[in-house]
């Protein structure tokens, strides 16, 4: 199959997400439990062509823009979060996770994967993202796990404290924290970055991580994991997202320093540094609209990553399998190098 045909067929499959996905997932889960089909291998199941350069959509993409914060359901092509492909293997059974930005993008993919690995999951998102969040919660609950929806704006310190308290209360504890939500607004010059934009970006990306982590720490114990989402921009910044890139550098250093503080307590702290990933962040102001059709084309793989491709890293870093990894920044950048 040609790459452009692969892109079209995947888009057609994913268009069923909002209308029939939960039913399909539920049927597949029932088939596994009833023994009518063999247990699939853990991780992400792939199409017949395993070539990482061609198995997911490649640029050029249709021109598109959305108002911030953007919705998965309005993207073309639809991102793949593992709704139909991620299969768990019990690596997080009994764990309790809180993820920010869990309605879409990388946070959504991690939330789905965590539930399929056996964890109960609480997700935070903005009220404007409710329709996307409902899909995620439905998928979590279809796995027989507890799914908790906690909408609100993490730019507010008091809300961040309440977010953690509500997650702990409704999940019955907490041992995985994923600080993932982000704000990104492309501007060609520092002269066009207002103080308001700069403040919003730092409040969302850095302050919220600080506030939420402080609130969560009293509830974490040995064996717990904190995972922060950094970026390739932490060490190879794009010129038109100066404020965003600087927050990602701060996140990488915050991760390394906190890991040293918490190592003796047996709490691991790591970060994932993605390259270009196809999420609502991009068409809702994160990229210059004129550049968006070729988003990810400059990577050696010639395409952006899909959120599902990041999910296994978040599972690994939350699980005991990575027990000797702390203070690390793990790259997934499509071949452009790593941190």
The CATH code of the domain that includes 311 is: 3.40.50.720
Q: Which band of pLDDT confidence, cut at 50, 70 and 90, is reported for residue 47?
A: low
pLDDT in tens, 80-99: 999 999 999 999 999 999 99
List of residues 6+ apart from 274 with CB closer than 8 A: 106, 229, 231, 232, 305, 310, 331, 332, 333
Q: Does residue 32 lie in a domain region?
A: yes
pLDDT band at 7 (very low <50, low <70, confident <90, very high): very low
- Domain total in the chain: 1
> Does 37 have pLDDT greater than 90?
no
Indicate which residue of 86, 244, 314, 324 is catalytic.
244
Q: What's the CA dihedral at 260, 266, 271, 272 to 10 degrees?
A: 150
* Confidence at residue 336, expressed as pLDDT on a 0 to 100 scale: 79
Mean pLDDT of 6-25: 39
User: Does the reported pTM lie above 0.75?
Assistant: yes
For residue 101, what are its two tokens?
């930005």
Contacts of 36 (CB under 8 A, 6+ apart): none
What residue numbers bound the domain in which 159 lies?
3-42+55-332
Alpha-carbon distance values, 170 to 75, 130, 148 (Å): 32, 19, 7
* Of the candidates 96, 127, 123, 90, the residue with the CA atom closest to the CA atom of residue 109: 123
Query: 9 lies in a domain?
Result: yes
Is residue 221 included in any domain, yes or no? yes
pLDDT of 258 over the 90 cut:
yes
Q: Is the pLDDT of residue 49 over 80?
A: no
Q: What angle do CA 300, 301, 302 make, to 5 degrees?
A: 90
- Structural domain includes residue 47: no
Tokens 């296994």 -> residue: 312
Nearest one of 175, 180, 167, 161 to 255, comparing CA atoms? 180
Of 273, 163, 151, residue with least CA distance to 209: 163
- Region 306-321: mean pLDDT is 98
pLDDT at 50: 81
CB-neighbour burial class of residue 197 (10 A; exposed 0-12, middle 13-18, buried 19+)? middle
Percent of the chain exceeding pLDDT 90 equals 84
Is 50 a member of any domain? no
- Side-chain half-sphere CA neighbours of 185 within 13 A: 20
Per the annotation, the verdict on 244 as an active-site residue is yes
Q: How far apart are CA 160 and CA 166, in angstroms?
A: 10
For residues 256 and 32, the model is more confident at 256
Average pLDDT over residues 155-160: 98
C-alpha–C-alpha distance, residues 56 and 307, integer Å: 11
């Amino acid at each position: 199959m040609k790459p452009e045909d692969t892109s079209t067929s995947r888009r057609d499959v994913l268009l069923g997400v909002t209308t029939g996905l939960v039913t399909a997932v539920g049927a597949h889960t029932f088939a596994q439990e009833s023994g009518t089909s063999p247990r699939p291998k853990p991780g992400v199941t792939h199409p017949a062509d395993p070539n990482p350069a061609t198995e997911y959509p490649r640029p050029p993409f249709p021109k598109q823009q959305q108002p911030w914060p953007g919705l998965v359901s309005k993207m073309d092509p639809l991102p793949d979060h593992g709704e139909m492909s991620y299969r768990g293997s019990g690596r997080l059974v009994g764990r309790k996770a809180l993820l920010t930005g869990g309605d879409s993008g990388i946070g959504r993919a991690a939330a789905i994967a965590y539930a399929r690995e056996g964890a109960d999951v609480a997700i935070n998102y903005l009220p404007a993202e409710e329709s996307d969040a409902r899909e995620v919660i439905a998928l979590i609950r279809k796995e027989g796990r507890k799914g908790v929806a906690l909408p609100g704006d993490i730019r507010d310190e008091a809300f961040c404290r309440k977010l953690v308290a509500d997650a702990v209360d409704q999940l019955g504890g907490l041992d995985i924290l994923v600080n993932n939500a982000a704000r990104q607004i492309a501007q060609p010059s520092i002269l066009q970055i207002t103080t308001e934009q700069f403040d919003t970006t730092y409040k969302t990306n850095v302050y919220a991580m600080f506030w939420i982590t402080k609130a969560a720490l009293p509830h974490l114990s040995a064996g717990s994991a904190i995972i922060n989402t950094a970026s390739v921009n932490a060490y190879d910044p794009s010129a038109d997202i100066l404020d965003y890139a600087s927050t990602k550098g701060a996140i990488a250093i915050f991760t390394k320093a906190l890991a040293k503080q918490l190592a003796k307590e047996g709490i691991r702290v790591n970060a994932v540094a993605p390259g270009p990933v196809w999420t609502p962040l991009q068409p809702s102001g994160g990229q210059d609209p004129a550049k968006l059709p070729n988003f990810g084309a400059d990577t050696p793989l010639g395409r952006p990553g899909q959120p599902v491709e990041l999910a296994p890293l978040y599972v690994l870093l939350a699980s005991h399998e990575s027990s000797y990894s702390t203070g690390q920044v793990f790259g997934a950048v499509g071949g452009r190098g790593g941190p």
